[in-house]
A and B are shown apart, each in its own frame.
Chain A
Amino acid sequence: MAGAFASYFSLNYIPVEKLNLPHPLPSVLALLLAFFLSALTSATLAVLVERFAYRPIRQAGRISALLTALGVSLFLQNFGIQIFTAEQKAYPESRRWLRIADLKEGAVFDCEPYVQFSTRSTEGTVDRVKKFVAVRGAPLSQKEIESLQQTFIVTNTKPLITGFAPQPVSTLEQEKTFLTERGISDEELLSQLLALADYSQCVMELSPSRLAMLEKVCDFYHIARIDGVFYESPISEGSKKVLIVVLLGLSTLALTLFVKYTKSGKAMRAVSYDIQTSKLMGINVNRVIALTFFIGAFLAGICGVVYGMRYGKVWPYMGFLPGLKAFIAAVLGGIGSIPGAVIGGLILGFAEIMVQAYSPPAYTGYRDAVAFGILILILIARPRGILGAIEGEKV
């Protein structure tokens, strides 16, 4: 959840377009940034949680650990509800940006391009608004391009002050007289300007004469030329699925290589066999466990981005059910085995979708029950999982 929300904010608010890169790169960069920030947020959170909530009870036994983990998960999710509200937010899967200079006559967009600006209400709440500037599917005409080139974002940078000091806030009438005194006579322009609250913006098409008029009050309005349009062309379903599979392959490979061949990976395995002896051998157990949580949450953050892209929405409790199913997949595949986890996840996902697809329509709500049913089955039949090793119990 934390990672997905971090990427949500990153995709929505980080202005990658300011870098003015050639065409396909901004969206790729935005996506990479989303992945990176998401993973980083999750991982940092995990390390903090481990340090303050899990490390003190490491000695206390598995029940305490599980209760604490449950508490942490509920705490984080409910905290998320308080911050982000419980509603589902639409995930902005791709934000691409095209420079005005690159717009060609006859270009067809597969979704509506827009310009984004912010409005501010009288109570002070700020909203980001999109104004659509062309129609999906229709070829761009030269006229439209010219009108786009004459479109500006106008920001009201100061409250208009009339008279002298003791009247810091003006009324609409005062503003109107102020503007007409300065030479703005065009009714339409006037009404558009009056509609702006402090520091809010609107998108206007300004002919050269109106532009000249507006420049007379340029102390109070900031005029920015639009230099590009956004468009959220949906990434095709196929490429999303390819992305998921590619990520799966890469992360499995990376994780397996890491655990098998690097020093930290070997340290992790040693700690999982026997903590006390590892300490005696000079392994910094605290650091190893923190690294484990870091890597786990890193992958979880990346997964959050992909989940948002695939399902189109993010909300604070989005990770609860997937987290449980992840545990079930791990148990199915065998705890302690990375290829086992992959196999377990694939089998679980496949089974769930198959049950949902082939069950009569009235029963589709039961798909989540399949996962838990599989859990109970595997725990009865083969508790160590498919690729798991038998853990002997020390008496």
Chain B
Amino acid sequence: MSFFDILNFDFLSLHLAFIGIFIMLALSLNLINGFSGMFSLGHHGFWAVGAYAAGVFILYCNFLPGPLMFILSLIVGASVAGLFGLGVGLPCLRLAGDYLAIATLGFGEIVRIIFQNLQTDKIHGPLGFEIPALLVPRTAETIVARSLIYLALIWTFVILTILIIRNIVKSSHGRAILALRDDEVAAELVGIDTTRYKVLVFVIGAGLAGLAGALFVNFKTDTNPEDFLLMKGIVILLYVVLGGMGSISGTIMAVIVLYSAEQSLKLQLFGWLGEDIGRLAARWWQVIFPLILIILMLSRPQGIMGKKEITQLPLFRKLTALLRSKQTAPEAKQ
């Protein structure tokens, strides 16, 4: 495939939708890992739980009109995942660093094992399940409409997620969470209820991941446990680490950059460099991306943006100041 083959609507809309979902996942993980300083390696577990909860709801309770079912499935997915966040967060309160990581990793694996073995009349174990398209049926004529509607919905929720996380972080609760990250013992001494905030962060992070899962299932009507493997979880973690643990804009940038890189390699968009290089790169992506993680940790563990947002960069400030002065200057003249 050459570079210009991608400039068609189907392709772009599909990948933009997935980018949106991954941004939601990475942001919710950033809340747990980056802003609160905890270390969860099982975020794909919450994603899977939300997706399967929404799927089960749609498959077994399908007695309401389409759009209403859609909204309800989102609520179901997010709530069930949030409950699991409570279930995972509570026991893991007194676990530090690596123990928490392995415990959450274990949780992710348990979820995956359970879903791979789950056999009911509509869910076929490792083959996953298929739900009816709720909002727009999947036919050849409606494909453009479907893509547009789902793109709009997904990105609405992405912006919602960004707003939620930003507002949490900027509030007093956010300051408590940041204190929790910087020094837990000192935070306790100052009177912050670390238990409450740890659980809160887990529940909100898991809930947002579940929401992303429900959207994912609705968009991609047939899913299977292969979509929720540990490798996907590590990729989401890599998005967070590359972008900066503690930076919303960094995470968004990292998702866009890494996801595009991965897809371009897989589709051999660099074939113009030479066919062999294209094929080689596609095969070796699985080897390259953990290498990226290692090199990142060795050279720049704070990622692209560290703990700062893009709005804090001097360049950004100069640009906005310039725009603002251009607005006020004409008024001043009058």
Closest to A380 in B: B91
The answer on a CB contact under 8 Å between A75 and B290 is yes
The answer on a CB contact under 8 Å between B113 and A366 is yes
Closest to A371 in B: B106
The answer on a CB contact under 8 Å between A75 and B291 is yes
Q: A75-B287, A372-B110, A383-B99 are in contact. Are A53 and B294 (CB under 8 A)?
A: yes
Q: A62-B98, A75-B290 are in contact. Are A376 and B117 (CB under 8 A)?
A: no
Number of chain A residues whose Cβ lies closer than 8 Å to a Cβ of chain B: 42
Quote the shortest CB–CB distance from B91 to chain A (angstroms): 4
The answer on a CB contact under 8 Å between A64 and B297 is yes
Instruction: Kindly state whether residue A363 has any CB partner on chain B within 8 Å.
Output: yes
Chain B residues lying within 8 Å of A275, measured Cβ to Cβ, are none
Closest to A72 in B: B294
The CA-CA distance from A324 to B97 in the complex, in Å, is 16
Closest to A368 in B: B113
Quote the shortest CB–CB distance from B332 to chain A (angstroms): 51
The CA-CA distance from A371 to B97 in the complex, in Å, is 20
Mostly helix, strand, loop or mixed at chain B's interface?
A: helix
The CA-CA distance from A61 to B94 in the complex, in Å, is 18
Complex partner residue of B106 from A66, A71, A75, A372, CB under 8 angstroms? A372
The CA-CA distance from A262 to B101 in the complex, in Å, is 34
The CA-CA distance from A35 to B301 in the complex, in Å, is 38
The CA-CA distance from A348 to B53 in the complex, in Å, is 31
Q: A53-B298, A75-B290, A368-B113 are in contact. Are A66 and B97 (CB under 8 A)?
A: yes
Encode B252-288 as 1/0 by CB contact (under 8 A) with A.
0000000000000000000000000000000110110
Chain A residues lying within 8 Å of B291, measured Cβ to Cβ, are 71, 75
The answer on a CB contact under 8 Å between A68 and B113 is no
The answer on a CB contact under 8 Å between B106 and A376 is yes
Complex partner residue of A67 from B94, B103, B106, B293, CB under 8 angstroms? B293
The CA-CA distance from A366 to B111 in the complex, in Å, is 10
Instruction: Kindly state whether residue A256 has any CB partner on chain B within 8 Å.
Output: no
Quote the shortest CB–CB distance from A226 to chain B (angstroms): 41
Q: Which of A350-395 contact B (CB under 8 A)?
A: 362-363, 365-366, 368-369, 371-373, 375-376, 379-380, 383, 393, 395
Complex partner residue of B234 from A64, A74, A324, A395, CB under 8 angstroms? A74
Chain B residues lying within 8 Å of A199, measured Cβ to Cβ, are none
Number of chain B residues whose Cβ lies closer than 8 Å to a Cβ of chain A: 39
The CA-CA distance from A362 to B101 in the complex, in Å, is 30
Closest to A394 in B: B185
The CA-CA distance from A63 to B231 in the complex, in Å, is 18
The CA-CA distance from A79 to B285 in the complex, in Å, is 10
The CA-CA distance from A81 to B185 in the complex, in Å, is 44
Instruction: Kindly state whether residue B95 has any CB partner on chain A within 8 Å.
Output: yes
Instruction: Kindly state whether residue B194 has any CB partner on chain A within 8 Å.
Output: no
The interface centre, meaning the residue of A331, A365, A371 with most chain B CB atoms within 10 A of its CB, is: A365
The answer on a CB contact under 8 Å between A379 and B92 is yes
The CA-CA distance from A33 to B294 in the complex, in Å, is 33
Closest to B109 in A: A372
Complex partner residue of A70 from B109, B113, B185, B234, CB under 8 angstroms? B234
Chain B residues lying within 8 Å of A366, measured Cβ to Cβ, are 113-114, 117
Q: A75-B291, A362-B119 are in contact. Are A331 and B298 (CB under 8 A)?
A: no
The answer on a CB contact under 8 Å between B298 and A67 is no
The answer on a CB contact under 8 Å between A82 and B284 is yes
Quote the shortest CB–CB distance from A67 to chain B (angstroms): 5
The answer on a CB contact under 8 Å between A82 and B103 is no
Quote the shortest CB–CB distance from A310 to chain B (angstroms): 22
Complex partner residue of B99 from A78, A79, A368, A379, CB under 8 angstroms? A379
Q: A66-B97, A324-B105, A376-B107 are in contact. Are A365 and B290 (CB under 8 A)?
A: no
Closest to A76 in B: B290
Encode B223-255 as 1/0 by CB contact (under 8 A) with A.
000000001001001000100000000000000
Closest to B294 in A: A71
Instruction: Kindly state whether residue B39 has any CB partner on chain A within 8 Å.
Output: yes
The answer on a CB contact under 8 Å between B301 and A60 is yes
The answer on a CB contact under 8 Å between A327 and B102 is yes
The answer on a CB contact under 8 Å between A379 and B287 is no
Q: A70-B234, A379-B91 are in contact. Are A78 and B103 (CB under 8 A)?
A: no
Closest to B125 in A: A365
Instruction: Kindly state whether residue A56 has any CB partner on chain B within 8 Å.
Output: yes
Offer 15 A-B interface pairs, CB within 8 angstroms, sorted by A. A56-B298, A64-B301, A65-B98, A67-B237, A67-B241, A67-B297, A68-B294, A71-B293, A72-B290, A324-B109, A365-B113, A372-B109, A372-B110, A375-B106, A383-B94
Other CB < 8 Å A-B pairs besides A53-B298, A75-B294, 18 of them? A60-B301, A63-B101, A64-B297, A66-B39, A67-B293, A67-B297, A71-B291, A75-B290, A331-B102, A365-B113, A365-B117, A366-B117, A369-B110, A369-B114, A375-B103, A376-B103, A379-B103, A395-B185
